[in-house]
Amino acid sequence: MREAWIIDAVRSPRGRGKAGVGSLSEIHPQRCMAQVLNGLKDRVGFDPADIEDVVAGCGSGSGDHAHDIARMSVLDAGWPITTTGVTLHRFCGSGQQAVTFAAMGVMSGHQEAVIGGGVEFMSRYSPIHANGFHANNEHLAGLHPQVPQGISADLIATIEGFSRNDVDAYAVESQTRAAKSIAEGRFNNALVPMYHLSGELALDRDEHPRPGTTLESLRDLKPSFAAMGAAHVDGYPKPFDDMAKDKYPEIDGVIHVHHAGNSSGVVDGASAVLVTSPDYAKAHGLKPRARIRMTATAGTEPLIMLTAPGPAAQRALDKAGMTKNDIDLWEINEAFASVVLKFMKDIGVSHDVVNIDGGAIALGHPIGATGGMLIGTAVDQLEREDKETALIAMCTGGGMGTATIIERI
């Protein structure tokens, strides 16, 4: 089997995901992805006609994200009509899965040069309906009751014994690390500035971080999901907290500890990672930055939902013939603080080597774009820290996890 080389990875800045407030919210998601694709092209110098597919993750798929946003973004970028695009949905892991599919195409010998990444503008989300993950399928709801992710995050904290102070302390550290990384320009290498159609600069830096966040500043924030957990929502047989207790009778009730300050930020953005075969890279004078060593997915119980990053990471390690001690750096998506705390507890890794530049609590989580962003961040980290290997893992809706092991070249 051939290797899959990461030639380069770029992303947009993350803009606040609120219509009329976020600096990217007036740019169409297709236009944002198109600018990221062209930013990657300009940096690497490849011919877009050589790209056999653009695989984009997107967690929405409706409204302005509809109709195969990958292909539409390729066309918006002005690339040849011969360059195709396909959009996939694995909830929050969509962008990481897109890079995995790009790698699979290259490693199998079916393709030579593929771009994986994704796009999500949370400022353009349609109102969330109460049909939930089961989408009004009563049979599925009976087999696998599912609740909103915030309830799942609080359920993890309840079962694992993570206190409000624990999750807040983690969030403060995420903000502190992100602020330091921004001040030192650690993200600058990957950023593609975004422009309005007029040519005016829209955003050239991440917009969501809140430097100076402290435990004291988070203390007065009320838990975001307590009222939701107690409410009786149409389409569900009972309140979400009761559904969680039915599934996990060992708890007395869900202890709500998550809020906006220790959960991933709502943002807009896009990412792109160029994956090629060694033969293509050598023939075109492209210098690789990393190779994709192994990928994996895993599934866990879908009501608690967010516990699969650990099993996915362990599966990737096992398939690669590696152990946790073979990994130098870890990027674990900060969907909620409890997700990363559980991952570190289960795998047995120190926060010293996990999310060293901060994460989505500070920077934001543009759903379909995040996986490509995390892979690019890990590549940058390996080079900056002079390390060899990194593992990237994410939780997703429906009780799944995605994992990628990369190795610096």
Question: Which residues are marked as active site?
Answer: 92, 365, 395
Question: Among residues 53, 172, 177, 179, which one has the least CA distance to residue 110?
Answer: 53
CB 329 within 8 A of CB 382: yes
* Tokens representing residue 82 in the block: 């011969």
Query: What are the residues whose beta carbons fall under 8 Å from the beta carbon of 152, sequence distance 6 or more?
Result: 303, 304, 305, 306
Half-sphere exposure of 288 (CA within 13 A, CB side): 21
Q: Which residue type, as a one-letter code, is found at position 130?
A: A
**390 phi/psi in degrees, rounded to 5:** -140, 150
Q: Which residue has the tokens 């236009």?
A: 31
* Tokens representing residue 66 in the block: 């509809």
Question: Among residues 72, 65, 78, which one has the least CA distance to residue 38?
Answer: 78
Report the distance separating Cα 139 and Cα 311, nearest Å: 27
**391 phi/psi in degrees, rounded to 5:** -125, 130
Length of the chain: 409
